[in-house]
Amino acid sequence: MTPIESVDLRLRADNHFCEHLSASALTFAKYWVFLNFYLASFLARPSRLMRILASIWTSREDSKLEAFVQETKRRLKVSLRLAQTP
């Protein structure tokens, strides 16, 4: 089962799971691992990048990255709508 925190952009300070690292340090580590994993993956198989870019338009979620991209896209749309309302 996927933890709810995996799709959150930032880890909350009250829910950071580690006494020795701050929530911001854990958030940085999460994105550092995420970046390195997918960079290596895209270098090994460049076609995956094209598939993920195509999934943005089709709203398909076949991998964790595609689910993360779709969730980020949804949150961005919501925040843009809220910013435009007077």
- Tens of pLDDT along 3-52? 545 556 666 666 656 778 787 888 888 889 988 988 998 899 999 888 88
Q: What integer pLDDT is reported at residue 1 of this predicted model?
A: 39
Number of domains into which the chain is organized: 1
Whether the pLDDT of residue 61 is over 80: the answer is yes
Whether the pLDDT of residue 62 is over 90: the answer is no
Average pLDDT over residues 63-71: 83
For 30-64, give the DSSP string.
HHHHHHHHHHHHHHH-THHHHHHHHHHHHT---SH
pLDDT: which is higher, 68 or 32 = 32
Q: Is residue 9 part of a domain?
A: no
Q: Is residue 5 part of a domain?
A: no
Q: Is residue 4 part of a domain?
A: no
**Residue range(s) defining the domain that contains residue 54:** 18-84
